[in-house]
């Protein structure tokens, strides 16, 4: 709120602090929601590698793989076996497959 009695320096300092706090929150949220590639590798080795390789997903983004895996788990997409994965496992496996296929 505008206060004509406040100095410009005080207002700028207050605004800078608010911007830094907001940026810190966004950065922390991004790190907290980032998929765990190592966790995805471990889950994929248990759930996926019997039938799939990283090359199966060449060119696919983590987002599209995550959507596909969610649809498989929900039974919307036909799959050889019934998968039961948590949301975290789905995100992690998708991140792992996307990273692995991008390295080739």
Q: Which helix (H) or strand (E) holds 65?
A: helix 62-74
What's this model's pTM, rounded to 2 decimal places? 0.65
Q: Which of residues 66 and 24 earns the better pLDDT score?
A: 66
Cα 22 to chain centroid distance, Å, stands at: 20
Helix/strand/coil for 29: helix
- For 29-56, how does the pLDDT look when each residue is reduced to its tens digit (9 = 90+)? 343 347 899 999 999 999 999 999 888 8
DSSP state of 54: G
């Amino acid at each position: 709120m505008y206060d004509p009695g406040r100095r410009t320096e005080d207002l700028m300092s207050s605004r800078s602090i608010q911007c830094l706090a907001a940026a810190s929150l966004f950065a922390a949220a991004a790190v907290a929601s980032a998929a765990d590639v190592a966790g995805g590798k471990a889950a994929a080795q248990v759930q996926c590698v019997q039938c799939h390789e990283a090359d199966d997903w060449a060119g696919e983004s983590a987002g599209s793989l995550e959507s596909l895996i969610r649809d498989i788990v929900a039974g919307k997409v036909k799959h050889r076996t019934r998968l039961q994965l948590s949301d975290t496992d789905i995100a992690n496996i998708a991140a792992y497959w996307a990273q692995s296929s991008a390295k080739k």
